[in-house]
Structure 1
């Protein structure tokens, strides 16, 4: 079934998936792209030249890491729109400043001068009328207990070794961030209300909700 045409999703729409670790961003990205006939955009972690150094010395490399992420996500966003849209994007450029850079600064891993420099670059590059913001940001949310259960279930070694206190903090930081986010329209999805693996109709219900938000947004802009 052609869900894009059935629900009137624009062929050039750009939809970004956001949420903390364990909520299923990659799965949602793949399934929505398949349902809509869109392309996918994933974070290229394996080519990041600062990641290993960062994990060895947070204070030395947090600024470099965040600048690298900012530049790469900016280039990717520009590429998506130059291509003509029709993309589902795993993780947004907004999470970098609203959650991760801020966390590094507040924990003392980034100096005030570096943080202000980073924020200045972010605002100049992203928070302008010229930056191509997504048509929709889908925020995947769930209880902390459910997120921890999913992290444990998928069994990635680095995640298993991470203290629960870190996941608690990230969960709260994401909630604080999304409650004030206004750079583009937001659709909040509870991860317990659908199952993309076991229930094929789940993706259609999600597409229907996407359609509703996009149509409402279009009406508001008139």
Structure 2
């Protein structure tokens, strides 16, 4: 089974994905984004750098997934990203003309990409996201604000309901030391049943 943990910036995707992979004795696949030299530049000038950044992410994520699944040996894989996040961040960051062009390229890549068996979307209030972003202290993320995070969440919620893949939205009101354990317990219950295409929601 191939499960993608998705969510806005600061939602705790990587921490949850690592914990879930350990619990399920699965491979953990981490997004390789920190080496992208365009990311810090984007936060300094979003209008100028949005298209180059989003296009580079599309190519990089596709290449990473293709390479991994070509060599995959483990029965289960938990990733802290999906290819679809390219489309939702692009919708947030690009103008209409750029997004129209980008979407055409995305669709051609989507057709040949490995599709997740389940996408888990961690949805939480922007105040929690901002707190988590501040706590992890990445210098290039200091300009991220409430309005931007709300826009990203809006794109996610709209896009997730349109894809032909099982989606589970987990609403997290507050983060505590037991949050990930609670999420994993809920996921284990879901995975014991047959995962069907559709959009489901649960609160933690």
* Superposition TM-score tier, normalisation by shorter sequence: 0.7 to 0.9
Aligned pairs, how many?
194
- Name the CA distance, whole Å, in 2 between partners of 1:193 and 1:161: 23
Give the Å deviation of 1:199: 7.0
Matched, 1:217 2:196: yes
Q: How far apart are the structure 1 equivalents of 2:181 and 2:34?
A: 34
Q: Cα gap change, 1:122/1:171 in structure 2, threshold over 3 Å: closer, same or farther? A: closer
Q: Secondary structure at the match of 1:137?
A: strand
Match of 2:90 among 101, 104, 115: 101
Q: What TM-score do you get using the length of structure 2 for normalisation?
A: 0.79
Alignment of 1:76-155 (within 5 A): 76-82=64-70, 83-84=72-73, 86-97=76-87, 99-106=88-95, 112=97, 114-126=98-110, 128=111, 130-152=112-134, 154=136
Larger Rg belongs to:
1
TM-score (norm: length of structure 1): 0.73
Q: Which residue of 2 aligns with 1:166?
A: 148
| Larger helix share, 1 or 2 | 1
Give the Cα separation in 1 of the matches to 2:181 and 2:33: 32
> 1:148-179 CA deviation, whole Å, 9 max, x = no partner?
4444555555545433222232233333333x
The CA deviation string for residues 16-65 of structure 1, in whole angstroms up to 9 with x for no partner, is 01111222111111100110111111122222132233334333332221
Structure 1 regions of 5+ residues with no counterpart?
1-12
Distance (whole Å) between structure 2 residues aligned to residue 173 and residue 209 of structure 1: 25
Higher strand share: 2
Judging changes above 3 Å, is the alpha-carbon distance between structure 1 residues 80 and 192 closer, same or farther for their aligned structure 2 residues? farther
**1:62 counterpart SS class:** helix
Unmatched 5+ stretches in structure 2: 198-204
